[in-house]
Amino acid sequence: MANRFNLLVFDWDGTLSDSESGIIAAMQLAIQELGLTERHDVEICEIIGLGLEEAIDTLYPEIEVGQRHDLARLYRLYYPMVTAGSTPLFPRTQATIESLYNAGYLLAVATGKSRRGLDRSLRENNLGHYFHASRCADETFSKPHPQMLRDLMQMLDVSPERTLMIGDTEYDLQMAMNAEVASLAVSYGVHPSGRLLEFRPLTCLDSLAELPVWLEHPDN
């Protein structure tokens, strides 16, 4: 493995997992049950990548604490129901992760999901054994705060200059900037590539399957 990175940190929703529709559907059901002011799908899509508390604060800054707790509780209830207990990975994700693992990279996940939600997704997709560490939004600060990346680098004893963050939202890329870590964007997730390029990723890939080849020549 002769290149500049040892540790590859992946966002989950929108980068490895095609979970956008499930997140939107679960949040809409929770909103409807509580009788809250309608939010369009686009508005909900915008908060994907944040921790659930931060996402709800963004969607409904005006509601009381009790309503925020109820909305979070109902979202957690509905998400596994609308996804039928399984959220698909993007095409060739498992093969790509396996290839990177076999090539000797340290692999990690930094996600706005809860620990319970991430562990469930890793089990459903049989990916857990490929990742050396992970950090979730209910364990530390939400993106774009840099603490998730700092924790992972400390846990795996890797310096910022040897770490690469891969994500589909500006929250991922801003977190990397805040942690002084290089980033790579993917174009098939939540935020469009033009928006992602504003945060100066090294490149923007159209498929995760392109990552192993790009890593061999990251400066091209």
Which among 97, 70, 72 is positioned nearest to 10, based on CA atoms?
Answer: 97
Tell me the average pLDDT across 34-40: 96
Asked whether residue 2 is assigned to any structural domain, the reply reads no
CATH at residue 196: 3.40.50.1000
Residue 170 sits in the same domain as residue 127: yes
Residue 1 falls within a domain, yes or no? no
Q: How far apart are CA 216 and CA 199, in angstroms?
A: 23
DSSP-assigned letters across all residues of 104-166: T-EEEEEESS-HHHHHHHHHHHT-GGG-SEEEETTTSPPTTSTHHHHHHHHHHT--GGGEEEE
What are the tens digits of pLDDT across the range 152-208?
999 999 999 999 999 999 999 999 999 999 999 999 999 989 999 999 999 999 999
In the sheet with 204-205, reading across from the earlier edge strand, the strands are 133-136, 106-111, 7-10, 163-167, 182-186, 204-205
Q: What is the biggest distance separating any 2 CA atoms in the chain, rounded to whole angstroms?
A: 56
Which residue among 65, 82, 99 closes a domain? 82
Give the pLDDT band of residue 220 (cuts 50, 70, 90). low
| Model pLDDT for residues 93-121, shown as the tens digit of each residue | 999 999 999 999 999 999 999 999 899 89
Are both 31 and 12 inside the same structural domain? Answer: no
Instruction: Mark which of 53, 82, 111 sits at the end of a domain.
Output: 82
Q: Percentage of the chain with pLDDT > 90? A: 86
Does any domain span residue 130? yes
Mean pLDDT of the chain: 93
93 and 154 share one domain: yes
168 and 191 share one domain = yes
Evaluate the CA torsion angle 54, 56, 58, 64 in order and state its sign: negative
Q: pTM here?
A: 0.91
Q: Report d(CA 153, CA 173) in Å as an integer.
A: 16
124 contacts: CB under 8 Å, gap ≥ 6: 85, 86, 87
Same domain as 103, residue 174: yes
In a domain, 116, yes or no: yes
The total of structural domains in the chain comes to: 2
Query: Residue 44 sits in a domain of what CATH number?
Result: 1.10.150.240
Domain limits at 187? Answer: 7-18+89-216
pLDDT for 2: 55
SS3 204: strand
